Amino acid sequence: MKNNSHYLDALLQGNSKDIQILYEKNFPMVKKFILQNKGNHEDAEDIFQKALLQMVVRYQKEKFVIKTSFGAYLFTVCKNLWRRELNKSKKKVTNQEVKELKGEEHNFAMAILEQKRWELFTEKLALLSENCKKILNLFFAKTPYDKIVVEMQYNTETVARQRVFKCKKKLKELITKDKRYNSLFEL
Amino acid sequence: MKLEDDILIEKYLRGTLSKDELSVISKRIKNDDDFKKKVAFEKQLFETLNDDDWSFMEGEEAPEATLYKKIYKSDAVKKVKETIQQENQKYQNRKRTLFKRKFFYMGAAVIALLISLYLFSPKSSYSSEKLYTQYIESTDLPSLVTREQGENVLAKGQAFFEAKAYEKAIPIFKNRLKLNNNATVYLYLGISQMELNRFSESEKTFNSLINSNLLDAPKGKWYKALLYLKMKKIKKSKLLLKEIITTKSYNFQQAQELLGKLP
């Protein structure tokens, strides 16, 4: 099996053979995800290309290391780019003029920074205790407190709130201590 | 941060604050930088870690953004971008061709299946029944009336037979056979039983005729072959038909024709 940096190098060099391998191995799953989430085949093609290019640009600047399998990483990049696409309308309403002025490359660069922030946040979330991970996942998925109480077998909502508060505090500490955070936080 | 502030920010981000509370928090965000930062951080957490949402960046102050933009616009990356586009096109075309080919083969398979169903339709039970009807109707039965004039009872039996009242016809034929063997009566009886789906009785009747020393005994084989056809015992029917053909027995030409229609 070829290692992750092999594919990153291959992308950087525009190696046709390896790009085809990446398509064969990963495009069907990405397409399936996008079709299941309000997208069509063209969206899948567009997102997949953007994801590959995002990795090229990022790898050109910093030799980042992929800790999961290459396929799993590529999938999360695609998934996040699609989340970004689906939520764009929300942003357009509030900031249309600014967005139009900034153009394609700005959008592209922002997607990289947002991806990096997502990586930082999820990486730190993974370091928490199983209990904290579970309750925070429920919390971020907007699960109402009464349901969190049932799911986590707490006595009251107050206990659940305190637990969320503590776990979130721990998560924020881990994030802010990481040196990557400074360049990824903005007001 | 205090728990109260945390709850307040959470309500703010979830849009569940009252008008008054909203006005208070908006003022705080405007005047208190520290609080503003906390709200921004919470918002980023909320949006990033919720699968249905996404946390956008403006990038005004991110020095990295300038570098990414520069790299994105570089000739080297433009070239890679073109290559990726070409490879995407190649991959999609290949998949489309494969899909078309698969579709073509599937279509061809369906057509082949339909043709084979049509060609080998005698294999189906429906068709063996149809063939049986066709051949039983086209085989002439000698009249019992002409052969045994004056036998009113047999004439009655034939009338019942022709009216398909086999239940009434059978006892008449059976009674007649008690007197002596008669090939035609055997046939009328066997066919009546066959029509009523009393297969084992019918087989017995035809066997009696076949094993008799009557001149018309071989006729029994032809009807027995039809009986097997009706019973969907195609193999047995074919064996008998082949026997009729090789021994040039009664109706061997029709037997040949029928054999050709069986799978």
Confidence label for B153 from pLDDT (cuts 50, 70 and 90): confident
Q: Which of helix, strand or coil describes residue B16?
A: coil
For residue B43, the model assigns a pLDDT of: 94
For residue A73, the model assigns a pLDDT of: 96
Q: How far is A147 from chain B (nearest CA, A)?
A: 16
For residue A92, the model assigns a pLDDT of: 59
Residues of A in contact with B62 (CB under 8 A): 113, 183-184, 186
The per-residue DSSP string of chain A comes to: ---HHHHHHHHHHT-HHHHHHHHHHHHHHHHHHHHHTT--HHHHHHHHHHHHHHHHHHHHHS-----S-HHHHHHHHHHHHHHHHHHHHHHHHHHHHHHHHHHHHHHHHHHHHHHHHHHHHHHHHHHS-HHHHHHHHHHHTT--HHHHHHHHT-S-HHHHHHHHHHHHHHHHHHHHHSTTHHHH---
Confidence label for B147 from pLDDT (cuts 50, 70 and 90): low
What fold characterizes domain B125-261?
A: 1.25.40
Beta-carbon separation of B41 and A14 below 8 A: no
Beta-carbon separation of B84 and A169 below 8 A: no
Span B62-74, mean pLDDT?
Answer: 90
* pLDDT digit string, tens, across residues B28-64: 999 999 999 999 999 999 999 999 999 998 876 678 8
Residues of A in contact with B73 (CB under 8 A): 105
The Cα B117–Cα A64 span in angstroms is 62
Element housing B65 (H / E):
helix B63-73
Tokens 């063997």 — which residue? B181
Query: Per-residue pLDDT for B139 more than 80?
Result: no
Confidence label for A1 from pLDDT (cuts 50, 70 and 90): low
For residue B9, the model assigns a pLDDT of: 93
Beta-carbon separation of A53 and B77 below 8 A: yes
Q: Write the residue in A14, A165, A185 that is nearest to B83 by C-beta.
A: A14
Beta-carbon separation of B48 and A60 below 8 A: no
Structure tokens at B66: 């300038």
For residue B69, the model assigns a pLDDT of: 92
Beta-carbon separation of B71 and A52 below 8 A: no
Query: Per-residue pLDDT for B143 more than 90?
Result: no
pTM, to two decimals? 0.65
CA B48 to chain centre: 49
Q: Among B215, B213, B206, which residue's Cα sits nearest to residue B250?
A: B215
Check if B75 contacts A (Cβ < 8 Å): no
Q: What percent of chain B has pLDDT over 90?
A: 44
Q: Write the residue in B50, B61, B86 that is nearest to A141 by C-beta.
A: B50
For residue A5, the model assigns a pLDDT of: 85
Beta-carbon separation of B54 and A84 below 8 A: yes
Chain B segment 31-60 residues within 8 A of A by beta carbon are 36-37, 40-41, 44-46, 48-60
Q: How many CB atoms lie within 10 A of CB B233?
A: 16
Structure tokens at B211: 């094993």
Tell me how many residue pairs between chain A and chain B have CB atoms under 8 A apart.
148
Query: Per-residue pLDDT for B184 more than 80?
Result: yes
Q: Write the residue in B6, B64, B81 that is nearest to A183 by C-beta.
A: B64
The mean predicted confidence, pLDDT, of chain B is 87
Give the chain B residue nearest A165 (alpha carbons).
B3
Residues of B in contact with A127 (CB under 8 A): none
Q: How far is A125 from chain B (nearest CA, A)?
A: 9
Beta-carbon separation of A117 and B54 below 8 A: no
Q: Write the residue in B45, B56, B92 that is nearest to A110 by C-beta.
A: B56
* pLDDT digit string, tens, across residues A75-113: 999 999 999 999 987 765 555 555 555 788 999 999 999
Span A156-174, mean pLDDT?
Answer: 96
